Amino acid sequence: MEVVDVIRAKRDGQRLTDGQIEYFIRSYTDGSVADYQAAALLMAIVWRGMVPDELAKWTAEMLASGVRMDLSSLSVPTVDKHSTGGVGDKVSLPLAPIVAACGAADPMLSGRGLGHTGGTLDKLEAIPGLRVELTPDEMLRILHDVGAVICAAGPGLAPADGRLYALRDVTGTVESIPLIASSIMSKKIAEGTDALVLDVKVGSGAFLPDIALARELAETMVQLGEAHGVRTSALLTNMDTPLGRTAGNGLEVTESVQALSGRGPDDLMEVTFALASEMLDLAGIDADPRSVIADGTALAKWNEMIRAQQGDPEAPLPEASERRMVVAETSGVVTKLDARGVGVAAWRLGAGRARKEDPVSPSAGVVCLKKPGEEVNEGEPVLELHADDPSRFDPAVAALESAIEIGREATEPQPMVLERIRA
């Protein structure tokens, strides 16, 4: 078989055969297919798409390029959550200990941030001493002992995706439903969990702002999960406004601990409880996630998890040396706080990265002092910007130029959970 024939087939709109998919994924993973040839096939997929059974085979081969974790030694149901990413989306941090406190095990393999959306691992690494690079044995031991772990996916899980993702990032082939779905699901299925809930963000701060595309992605991923024996559902959730009050690594850890202590913002808790309830339902566990916040067991589970990953939950988090306020230009009610604008501002302050190898600041970010529906007076602070370098403030403020709108009357609040999708 020749790779150019595979490229031609997809270029001409044909369904790739099982043999062609097996040949391409295996040959690209072992290096016998060149990057420029793989890039040509990826672009053909962007333009021509994939039919469901073709995509299922493509995902299966990506999964087969590595190992699938064996969680069968755990005595409790296993379930995980994946988010497509957003601004202030710290849900994973309180969610994993909540679910574990309710009796499930959550092996949450997470990633780092890129662009205006924050990464869960970057947030966790703001905690002194905490390790996110764990071996499979370490991860399994923490799951046995604690019931929750949040760490990086090892190189053995879907290595084909690692190579393809890096190539997509530099060839303009990221924006494709089949390629996004197979990338996410090959890694998540490789975790070996019984069930999976997908949090697909919709709105200005989301990867896919259009609800129709977000719905298509959610439906595609649910189908892929079910096809591989993983009970899967999805929630479409609102990402027009930053989630919670903070966007930035250490700032979001602090807010997550507040959430676990029963002092979380309403929007953050609404999404967190909705996802927790969905996860517990798929896992077959009858428990109320609110109860483990109220009785303190979720916070205790968080502290256990942090210590198991060699972090110190009592240690003070890094604080930025410089701060600047963004004030209201008029009095009234905040009617808009654009998630993308706030996310780009946090990124420019040092909380995010433009390239995977860039460092991030654990202390930089944005605190939302006012959010939509809240009254503000002229000259009163709306946002508080945190940075270690004062030269970062002006570019961050520029990103917020049209992010804040103030009117005379509050607009109708939007629901946080927009849709639920199951097979």
Q: Is the pLDDT of residue 69 over 70?
A: yes
Q: Quote the tokens at residue 173.
A: 């082939």
Q: Quote the tokens at residue 365.
A: 């970010």
Write down the pLDDT at residue 305: 98
Question: Can you say whether the dihedral through the CA atoms of 90, 92, 96, 99 is positive or negative?
Answer: positive
Q: Is the pLDDT of residue 253 over 70?
A: yes
Compute the C-alpha angle 46/175/170, nearest 5°.
90
- Arithmetic mean of pLDDT over the chain: 95
Q: What is the mean pLDDT of residues 76-102?
A: 96
Percent of the chain with pLDDT over 70: 100
Q: Which of 196, 213, 247, 210 is nearest to 86 (CA)?
A: 247
Residues annotated catalytic, as ranges? 80-83, 120, 168, 183, 187-188
Write down the pLDDT at residue 108: 95
Write down the pLDDT at residue 115: 67
Percent of the chain with pLDDT over 90: 90
pTM of the model as a whole? 0.94
- Catalogue the long-range contacts made by 252-258 (C-beta closer than 8 Å, 24 or more residues apart): 252/88, 252/90, 252/93, 252/118, 252/123, 252/365, 253/90, 253/93, 253/123, 253/124, 253/126, 253/127, 253/317, 254/317, 255/90, 256/90, 256/93, 256/94, 256/123, 256/302, 257/299, 257/302, 257/313
Phi, psi angles (nearest 5°) of residue 367: -110, 125
Q: Quote the tokens at residue 21.
A: 């998919």
Render pLDDT for 170-222 as a digit per residue (tens, 0 to 9): 898 988 999 999 999 999 999 999 999 999 999 999 988 999 999 999 999 99
Render pLDDT for 98-147 as a digit per residue (tens, 0 to 9): 999 999 999 999 888 766 777 899 999 999 999 999 999 999 999 999 99
Q: Quote the tokens at residue 391.
A: 């030269």
Write down the pLDDT at residue 153: 86
Compute the C-alpha angle 402/407/410, nearest 5°.
115
Domain ranges of the chain: 3-49, 79-155+171-314, 322-407
Q: Is the pLDDT of residue 357 over 80?
A: no
Instruction: Enter the CATH code of domain 79-155+171-314.
Output: 3.40.1030.10
Q: Reply yes or no on domain 322-407 having CATH 3.90.1170.30.
A: yes
Render pLDDT for 385-419 as a digit per residue (tens, 0 to 9): 999 999 999 999 999 999 999 999 888 888 999 99
In CATH, which superfamily holds the domain spanning 3-49? Transferase, Pyrimidine Nucleoside Phosphorylase; Chain C (1.20.970.10)
CA 148 – CA 100 distance, rounded (Å) = 6
Which has more pLDDT, 354 or 28?
28
Q: What is the mean pLDDT of residues 41-50?
A: 97
Q: Quote the tokens at residue 397.
A: 């403020």
Q: Is the pLDDT of residue 239 over 80?
A: yes
Per-residue buried b or exposed e for 92-125, using 16+ beta carbons within 10 Å of the residue's own CB: bbbbbbbbbbbbbbbbbbbbbbbebbbbbbbbbb
